[in-house]
Amino acid sequence: MTDTPFTLTLPFPKVIPSKVEAHIKRPLSSLRGMFADEEAYERMLGQEDTLVYEVFEIKRNEEVGELALGVSVVHPGVVGAEFFMTKGHFHSVLETAEVYYCLQGEGFMVMETPEGDTSVAALRPGTVLYVPPRWAHRSVCTSRQGDLVTLFVYPGNAGHDYGTIEKQGFRKLVIDGGNGIAFVDNPRWKKEAGS
Ligand code: 6PG
Ligand code: NI
């Protein structure tokens, strides 16, 4: 890992970083239990293990003072009425923030705190989103044609707590409500015991 200044480019139209040190692929099978309509999920998975999203990371030491960065690409699609989305997570170090810059596509960032505050921010090309410390975050692609592409930067020591979200879910879901995009309460949301 170079410790000298470096540049990278995000060449359009694909906006995949010119320098990628980790390429994470998240197919449907890696998101079991995350979509509300489990029947639709099983039906889709039975047909094809569709690629839902990818993350292109520029690796840095996971230590205080460093910044991790990369590009997240959520592909268009739905499971039942629910739009394709990332797993979502709290940072293991809860008191760490994150900045997202939307490069392409359209969607939303669904966010919540352990205390139950919720927020949904629209993402369009040029949108800069500041996710404060303590807010879990999940990217949702609501376009039916194009990818939702965001550049993200967060503290190198933040870490990822997926477990809480895997157990509780997010309080809000983003669905295609028939006459447009709707934000609905997650009927399966439940507080993790003792958390
Ligand atoms: C992070 C960022 C971001 C996120 C991707 C994929 O903390 O690393 O929030 O890079 O990891 O958007 O989302 P999931 O980590 O929830 O799968
Ligand atoms: Ni994050």
3-class SS string, the chain: CCCCCCCCCCCCCCCCCCCCCEEEEEEHHHHCCCCCCHHHHHHHHHHCCCEEEEEEEECCCCCCCCEEEEEEEECCCEECCEECECCCEECCCCCCCEEEEEEECCEEEEEECCCCCEEEEEECCCCEEEECCCCEEEEEECCCCCCEEEEEEEECCCCCECHHHHHHCCCEEEEECCCCEEEEECCCCCCCCCC
Closest C-alpha residue for ligand 1 atom 4: 72
User: Which ligand has the shortest distance to the CA of 88?
Assistant: 1
pLDDT at 195 over 70: no
Closest C-alpha residue for ligand 1 atom 5: 72
What confidence tens digit (pLDDT) does each residue in 10-26 have? 987 878 898 899 999 99
User: Which ligand has the shortest distance to the CA of 69?
Assistant: 1
pLDDT at 157 over 90: yes
pLDDT band at 193 (very low <50, low <70, confident <90, very high): low
Distance 88 CA to ligand 1 centre (A): 7
pLDDT at 11: 84
Closest C-alpha residue for ligand 1 atom 17: 87
pTM greater than 0.75: yes
